Amino acid sequence: MILGFSTATYTSTTLVDEFFRAAIDWDWTITQAYYHATIEAYGGHEDTIKAVIVADTLEQYNNDHLWGQGYVAPDEYPDDDTIWYAEWTCSG
Amino acid sequence: MYRSLKLVFVVGTLLIFTMFLSHAITQDGKIITGTKGSFSEVKLNVALPESPEKLPLYRIVDVERDSYASKDFMKLSGSVPSEEESRRLALEFLEKRGQLPDGLTPKVVEVVKLREVNVKTNDTLQELPVAVNLIFGKVVNGYPVTGPKADRIAILVGGKGNITYYSKLWYEIERNNDTAILPAENAFEKLKRGEVLNRMKAVPKTLKISEVKLGYYVGKDQKYYIPAWLFYGEDEIGNRIVLMVDARR
């Protein structure tokens, strides 16, 4: 999975802290932890900041956890040349 | 095992990359590089507003946190309500929870969609709604409150209109002394020198300012709302950038 942004953004230690807190302490999926972290880090800003998550399969998008924190979906085989892309505004 | 290591590596690398560099990658793969928070050119496309002599400072007397998350938030859950219906459901949820504060103002309402994309043709094969994403901010006496630790409420409305995620950060404030305000012209000069409260590392080379107004800034560990001049502009791909200059003399 790839976690990133489609706009310019700010440096934020909150982003990292909240991501790992949700993914490890609360066992949230990577998608859920990343959404939560982007809101915690940038929700108070007025700029348009958009976060992006890319997964190879729908099962990975819905269910992947960090290793040891829950279910991890298998690698896709054979490759079907498609990805799953979600984008949301985390400040505006 | 290999897959899990790869996953941790990718997540870790990207988060560290974001934390230290904050360079944005557009959907067409272009990397927007910054110039350490200063601009090659700042264009003012709007008249600067008149400055009030003074504005009140507000002291933060209490912090209110409240949150809720269902097991399935951000997962596919069928059709989602319209943006307008979601706004109504969100406000109803806050009211029932006794968490509908004064000064609440809508900032974001959008349907978050999950797209299946063919990476060879770049065609979207299907587009499925995940949730309606709502973010509310705060206004004090007509002035927006903004910054990394500013008041905000985020809500996700999922399938069947269920509230699947909610996070609130809100401050109880009390009016303090008035403070003298810097004229907008002086603040604009500070902006051109890169003297801003929010230093975005990946800034566009040219920034076109289309709106200037006063607001309040809330950063980490602040005990007061700080009056700030807010300069609204757009980057090269049309996203809003708001730069803030301390408005205190």
Q: What is the pLDDT of residues A30-77, one digit of tens each?
A: 999 999 999 999 999 999 999 999 999 999 999 999 999 999 999 999
Measured torsion, CA atoms of residues B22, B144, B150, B114, in degrees rounded to the nearest 10: -60
Whether chain B has a CB inside 8 Å of the CB on A30: the answer is yes
Which pLDDT score is estimated for B236? 75
Return the pLDDT at B40.
63
Measured between CB atoms, does A25 come within 8 Å of chain B? Answer: no
pLDDT for B1: 43
Q: Which domain does A20 fall in, by range?
A: 2-91
* ipTM, 2 dp: 0.96
pLDDT at B31: 31
Closest partner CB to A91 (pick from B19, B119, B135): B135
Q: What pLDDT does residue B39 have?
A: 60
Average pLDDT, chain A: 96
Q: Which residues pair with B139 in a beta bridge?
A: B144
Interface contact flag, B146 A46, Cβ < 8 Å: yes
- pLDDT value of residue B138: 98
Of B232, B52, B58, nearest to B138 by C-alpha is B58
Q: Which residues of chain B neighbour A90 with C-beta distances below 8 Å?
A: 135
User: Of the candidates A4, A36, A47, which has its C-beta nearest B240's C-beta?
Assistant: A47
Q: Please check whether residue B114 touches A, CB under 8 A.
A: yes
pLDDT at residue number A46: 93
Q: Identify the pLDDT of residue B20.
A: 38
Could you say which of A11, A35, A89 has the minimum Cβ distance to residue B19?
Answer: A11
Residue B146 in contact with residue A46, Cβ under 8 Å? Answer: yes
Positions of chain B with pLDDT lower than 50, given as ranges: 1-2, 4-37
The total domain count for chain A is 1
Residue A11 CA to residue B177 CA, distance in Å, equals: 32
- In this prediction, residue B99 carries a pLDDT of 94
